[in-house]
Amino acid sequence: MIVDGFFIAGVIVCLVSAVICFGAAAIRQPPNDVTILSVAAVELFLLVYGVAAIIRQAGGEAIAGEAWEFWGYLLTALCIPVAGFWWAILERSRWSNLVLGAVGITVFVMLFRMEQIWDRVPL
């Protein structure tokens, strides 16, 4: 797998968000601006990643794996932070921070798989 700058940036954003959210859950805080904004940063990264993927494809760099699989992962990953945000807003308990932390970990795993699909690395 070729590691590019977007993947490294995504790893950093996802893991920082997860650490912030799990840390807030550990000290028994309900969701607050910091935890919600960290998940918003994950969503913003995914939007930028999607635009960059469109530009890369339009520029002639093809997805080595199945394109439908890559875009399916990206669309699903875009929904996960939104779902975590709504969970945190509707249930204002410390457990919501665990859900927000799981958003970062889940998106990290999906980002890793998207990079594998882009470079056609077998499972």
The mean pLDDT of 46-69, rounded to a whole number, is 89
Measured between alpha carbons, how far apart are the two ends of the chain, in Å? Answer: 11
What phi and psi values does residue 2 have, to the nearest 5 degrees?
-85, 120
Grade residue 4 by pLDDT with cuts at 50, 70 and 90.
confident
Domain count across the chain: 1
pLDDT at 1 over 60: no
| Residues in Cβ contact with 14 at an 8 Å cutoff, skipping those fewer than 6 apart | 42, 45, 104, 105, 107, 108, 111
How far apart are the C-alpha atoms of 3 and 53, rounded to whole Å? Answer: 15
What is the domain range of residue 27?
Answer: 5-119
Residues 15-33: tens digit of each pLDDT? 999 999 999 999 998 898 9
Which CATH number do you get for residue 55? 1.20.120
Prediction pTM value = 0.89
